[in-house]
């Protein structure tokens, strides 16, 4: 391809020289032959150099243009993402609420949780920084944790006294009272929450009961949504 372009440029240059030599009147319009020939040679030379440059660097130039376009697109996407970051965060939060069971979508003081496939509201909470899944149980007067969940949250199991009777799906069980330093669901954070810890093997699921729900300004089940609102 490079040799072909070189021969084409040589033929064009030879044609211009022949045209100039064969001129009889010695002029072309208002330009003398000498001036015209000088200008023509410069133009042809410039075109020749540019053509050679484009030919030699055509692949690199194409790659450079493609890379530049990619970076321009990336920069525009980053700019759009930064400009609409809050709206995108809200959309992502809602999508996660639908796709991830128990995910809490936070909008200011309001937290929403979608109903799970089993018909219950499974809620992912944080107790002392540990992620603990719970099931909403409005019939439970207290937050109730399994022995395993309490251990994961780093609670002092060795000093517990199982003195409280609780009714579970498996019958009556014994639980130990405790106060949780922090219980959080999404953006709602409650401190010093009274709770119970069931004896090992007596409870299958952690229960989100009224000792947490009563701390809220309001909560309701609206369709397939559990909506909780904290105090300002």
**Average pLDDT taken over every residue of the chain:** 78
pLDDT digits (tens, 9 = 90+) for 10-21: 555 555 555 554
Q: Which CATH class is domain 102-229?
A: mainly beta
State how beta strands 105-107 and 218-222 pair.
Answer: unpaired
Q: Which two tokens stand for residue 96?
A: 């996660």
Is pLDDT above 70 for 9?
A: no
Q: What is the pLDDT of residue 42?
A: 58
Beta-strand ranges (E) seen in 33-170 are 105-107, 110-114, 122-127, 130-136, 143-145, 164-168
pLDDT digits (tens, 9 = 90+) for 160-199: 999 998 876 566 788 999 999 999 999 999 999 999 999 9
Q: Which of 52, 43, 39, 42 is nearest to 8 (CA)?
A: 52
The residue that leads in pLDDT, 30 or 183, is 183
| Residue position matching structure tokens 């075109």 | 47
Q: What is the pLDDT of residue 84?
A: 79
Query: Where are the domains positioned within the chain?
Result: 2-81, 102-229
| Residue position matching structure tokens 């440059």 | 53
**Please, is 78 exposed, middle or buried when counting C-beta atoms within 10 Å of its C-beta (0-12, 13-18, 19+)?**
exposed
pLDDT digits (tens, 9 = 90+) for 50-62: 555 555 555 565 6
Residues ≥6 apart with Cβ < 8 Å to 107: 90, 93
Q: What is the pLDDT of residue 51?
A: 56
The residue that leads in pLDDT, 217 or 70, is 217
Residue 96 CA: distances (Å) to CA of 20, 41, 214: 77, 69, 27
Is pLDDT above 90 for 102?
A: no
């Amino acid at each position: 391809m490079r040799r072909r372009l070189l021969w084409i440029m040589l033929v064009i240059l030879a044609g211009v020289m022949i045209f100039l030599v064969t001129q009889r009147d010695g002029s072309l319009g208002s330009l003398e032959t000498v001036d015209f020939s000088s200008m023509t040679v410069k133009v042809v030379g410039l075109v020749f150099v540019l053509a050679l440059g484009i030919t030699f660097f055509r692949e690199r130039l194409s790659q450079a243009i493609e890379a530049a376009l990619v970076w321009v697109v990336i920069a525009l996407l980053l700019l759009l993402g930064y400009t609409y970051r809050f709206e995108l965060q809200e959309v992502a939060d809602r999508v996660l609420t639908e796709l991830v069971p128990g995910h809490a979508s936070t909008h200011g003081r309001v937290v929403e949780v979608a109903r799970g496939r089993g018909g219950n509201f499974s809620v992912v909470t944080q107790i002392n920084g540990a992620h603990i899944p719970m099931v909403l149980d409005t019939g439970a007067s207290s937050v109730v944790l399994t022995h395993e969940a309490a251990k994961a949250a780093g609670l002092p199991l060795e000093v517990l006294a199982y003195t409280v009777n609780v009714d579970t799906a498996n019958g009556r069980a014994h639980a130990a009272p405790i106060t949780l330093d922090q219980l959080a669901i999404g953006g709602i954070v409650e401190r010093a929450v009274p709770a119970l810890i069931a004896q090992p093997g007596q409870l299958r699921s952690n229960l989100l009961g009224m000792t947490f729900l009563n701390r809220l300004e309001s909560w309701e089940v609206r369709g397939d949504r559990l909506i909780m609102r904290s105090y300002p």
